[in-house]
Amino acid sequence: MAIVASTSLSKHPLFSSSFLPASTTPTKIFSSKLRFRETEQIRFRLSTFFNNPGFLLMASKEPVGLTTELGSDKIETAVGVENGCGMFDEMKHRFLSFKKKKFMENLEHYLNLSNAQTPKFMVIACADSRVCPSYILGFHPGEAFIVRNVANMVPPCESGPSETNAALEFAVNSLQVENILVIGHSRCGGIRALMSMEDEADSSFIQNWVVVGKNARLKTKSAAHNLSFDHQCRHCEKESINCSLLNLLTYSWIEEKVEKGTLSLHGGYYDFIDCTFEKWTLDYEGSNLKESDKFAVRSQSFWC
């Protein structure tokens, strides 16, 4: 499969009528005019192309070792001179190992899964490389619908459409998951950025995103102002999970199901320094959320 997209160079700033010495190496590459909310979203002018796949890895029903590699010598050579040759090999080996040890060993299960997914969990976790929920909580394929973003934030309904609430809508209304688990973690860079913010109006993406957690920061500053900055961040990591749980309830279709008892909201905190996990469940019936933004919890546990 080759998907080729090429665009002309005629409007590139380098192609002006002025003389260019042959030895000029252009350093400014992109001339981009971005139009948003229209169907043609990108207008930059340079030649882009997509390599033919270096490898097409097939799982077959034959014994191990029978894999098909697509590509002529020419393509392999082209891949070979790229820096990523080693990376392609590495991905290939990992996929084949997954195929052999998991996919083929559980073929029927994977075939059933390919027809439909019915996960009982939706997990919202941080994008941090150290906290993959599949890894630390052992979710197998098919068990958990997982959203990962910076600092595992859930924006409230009034903030408008985003990738997180699109995923919530799918998981709750279409897949009808029974549990939503928001997992925070220790030494979170996003929470640190939230706690370090001087001015809410900042041009960086990170600060424009983590400001979703501003209530958690306010509560932390109020409750833990006498603690060191590191301890305040730790406090905020947990407070932010609770704020996210409250934000989940701003979606009427989530609150309805929680009230009915068909959906449970859980918070989790993974401390990768000591390898401990805390977990708690929002007690909807025991909370009086119309009066205050504090909620009751139940089934608190600590695993170490």
- Hey, which residues between 175 and 204 contact other proteins (CB under 8 A)? 178-179, 181, 186-187, 189-190, 203-204
Q: Which of 98, 229 has the CB closer to other proteins?
A: 98
Is 48 a residue that touches other proteins (CB under 8 A)? yes
Instruction: List the one residue from 76, 106, 141, 255 that touches other proteins (CB under 8 A).
Output: 141
Of residues 144-163, those binding other proteins (CB under 8 A): 144-150, 153, 161-163
Q: Which stretch binds other proteins (CB under 8 A): 80-88, 214-222, 232-240, 242-250?
A: 80-88
Cα end-to-end distance, the chain, whole Å = 49
Is 99 a residue that touches other proteins (CB under 8 A)? yes
Q: Whose structure tokens read 């599949």?
A: 134
Q: Which of 179, 215 has the CB closer to other proteins?
A: 179
Is 42 a residue that touches other proteins (CB under 8 A)? yes
Give dist(CA 139, CA 105) in Å, integer. Answer: 17
Q: What is the DSSP string of 149-189?
A: EGGG----GGG---HHHHHHHIIIIIS--SEEEEEEETT-H
Size of interface with other proteins, in residues (CB under 8 A)? 126
Closest contact distance (angstroms) between CB of 226 and other proteins is 26
Is 243 a residue that touches other proteins (CB under 8 A)? no
User: Which parts of 103-228 fold into alpha helices (H)?
Assistant: 107-115, 133-136, 163-169, 189-196, 205-210, 214-224
Q: Which stretch binds other proteins (CB under 8 A): 135-143, 216-224, 231-239, 242-250?
A: 135-143
Is 47 a residue that touches other proteins (CB under 8 A)? yes
Instruction: List the one residue from 242, 248, 268, 269 that touches other proteins (CB under 8 A).
Output: 268
- Tell me how far CA of residue 142 lies from CA of 120, 122, 171, in angstroms: 9, 11, 13
Give dist(CA 191, CA 196) in Å, integer. Answer: 8
Radius of gyration of the chain (CA): 25
Of residues 272-291, those binding other proteins (CB under 8 A): 272-273, 275, 277, 279, 281
| Residue 34 exposure: Cα atoms within 13 Å on the Cβ side | 3
Residues forming a β-bridge with 149: 126
